[in-house]
């Protein structure tokens, strides 16, 4: 069992509004107390400034959902790591399966985004995960190992600076969670790969689970030896549910 501080990360995806964000953060602030884990909310880019203000003085960190691999320039619609830094962003999700799918992001692009975040002192939460088809074909290990391998040797940076998130695509937004043992088996594979790459750091790297984590299943998932936190979509939008997940992380 690892003893590192767990990380509970909410991924709001493309949800929120000025009024809704304020209401959600107000309830979180009121009830969060002193969490045993680190907590971050990864919000849509247009709300970074608003949520930065709402979180001031709270134990909740600010996160983003994507970052450009480019430092600046003619890349319409993109936002750079330096811009995220301007708003106090501490974590950024990279390589989420929705970006790999809808924006055709490749492992190479995910690695470049990881490097961009690291070079600005922002911790990337690098997502890996297999489709149901890949799982059924017995290809889970091959797929997640390939995705992790792409970010293991980011130039000039230590693997200990990243957070990994295992998100089986078949469990995202479907209500179908990986069983704790099923998730643990993949987390153990990822841990072994990290160990092979950097044995002195592997135990300290946080590997989050994501995919229909909720107030009911969080404790069992988070009790697994290689599950060091959660990346939570739908349940992070409902304050009592997110608070229950945070309470389950010790």
Q: Which amino acids are annotated catalytic?
A: 96, 167
Q: Name the minimum Å distance from CB 73 to ligand 13P.
A: 29
Is position 130 an interface residue for ligand 13P (rule: CB under 6 A)?
Answer: no
Is position 111 an interface residue for ligand 13P (rule: CB under 6 A)?
Answer: no
Our CB check for ligand 13P shows the closer of 124 and 211 to be 211
DSSP codes, the chain? ---SPPEEEEE--S---HHHHHHHHHHHHHH--S-SSEEEEE--GGGHHHHHHHHTTSSEEEEES---SSSSSS-TT---HHHHHHTT--EEEES-HHHHHHS---HHHHHHHHHHHHHTTPEEEEEE---HHHHHTT-HHHHHHHHHHHHHT-TT--GGG-EEEE--GGGTTTS-PPPHHHHHHHHHHHHHHHHHH-TTTGGGS-EEEESS--TTTHHHHHTSTT--EEEESGGGGSHHHHHHHHHH--
Looking at 78-86, 151-159, 206-214, 241-249, which segment touches ligand 13P (CB under 6 A)? 206-214
Is position 210 an interface residue for ligand 13P (rule: CB under 6 A)?
Answer: yes
Is position 16 an interface residue for ligand 13P (rule: CB under 6 A)?
Answer: no
Cα 233-60-21 angle, rounded to 5 deg: 60
Q: Name the minimum Å distance from CB 171 to ligand 13P.
A: 6
- Taking residues 56 to 95 in sequence order and writing x for each that binds ligand 13P by CB under 6 A, - otherwise, the string is ----------------------------------------
What token pair was written down for 5?
Answer: 């501080």
Q: Name the minimum Å distance from CB 231 to ligand 13P.
A: 4
Under 8 Å between Cβ of 48 and 77: no
Q: Say how far apart CA 29 and CA 25 lie, in whole Å.
A: 6
Q: Name the minimum Å distance from CB 64 to ligand 13P.
A: 13
Is position 233 an interface residue for ligand 13P (rule: CB under 6 A)?
Answer: yes
Minimal CB distance residue for ligand 13P: 233
Q: Name the minimum Å distance from CB 10 to ligand 13P.
A: 8
Looking at 112-120, 181-189, 233-241, 242-250, which segment touches ligand 13P (CB under 6 A)? 233-241
Looking at 105-113, 136-144, 184-192, 211-219, which segment touches ligand 13P (CB under 6 A)? 211-219
Q: Name the minimum Å distance from CB 129 to ligand 13P.
A: 9
Our CB check for ligand 13P shows the closer of 126 and 172 to be 172
Under 8 Å between Cβ of 139 and 101: no
Is position 117 an interface residue for ligand 13P (rule: CB under 6 A)?
Answer: no
Q: Which residues bind ligand 13P (CB under 6 A)?
A: 11, 96, 167, 172-173, 210-213, 231-235
């Amino acid at each position: 069992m690892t003893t590192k501080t767990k990380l509970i990360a909410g991924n709001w995806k493309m949800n929120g509004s000025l009024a809704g964000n304020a209401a959600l953060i107000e309830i979180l602030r009121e009830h969060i107390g002193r969490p045993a884990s680190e907590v971050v909310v990864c919000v849509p880019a247009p709300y970074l400034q608003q949520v930065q203000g709402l979180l001031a003085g709270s134990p909740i960190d600010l996160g983003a959902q994507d970052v450009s691999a480019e430092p600046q320039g003619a890349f319409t619609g993109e936002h750079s790591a330096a811009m995220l830094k301007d708003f106090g962003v501490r974590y950024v999700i990279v390589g989420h399966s929705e970006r790999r799918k809808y924006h055709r992001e490749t492992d190479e692009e995910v690695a470049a985004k990881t490097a961009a975040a690291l070079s600005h002192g922002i911790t990337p939460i690098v997502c890996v995960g297999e489709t149901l088809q890949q799982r059924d074909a017995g290809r889970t290990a091959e797929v997640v190992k390939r995705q992790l391998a792409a970010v293991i040797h980011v130039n000039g940076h230590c693997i200990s600076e990243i957070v990994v998130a295992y998100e089986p695509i078949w469990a995202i937004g479907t209500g179908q969670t990986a069983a704790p043992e099923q998730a643990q088996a993949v987390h153990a594979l990822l841990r072994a790969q990290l160990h092979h790459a950097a044995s002195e750091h592997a135990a300290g790297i946080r590997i989050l689970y994501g995919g229909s984590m909720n107030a009911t299943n969080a404790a069992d998932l988070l009790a697994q030896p290689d599950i060091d936190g959660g990346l939570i979509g739908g349940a992070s939008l409902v304050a009592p549910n997110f608070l229950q997940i945070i309470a389950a992380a010790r």
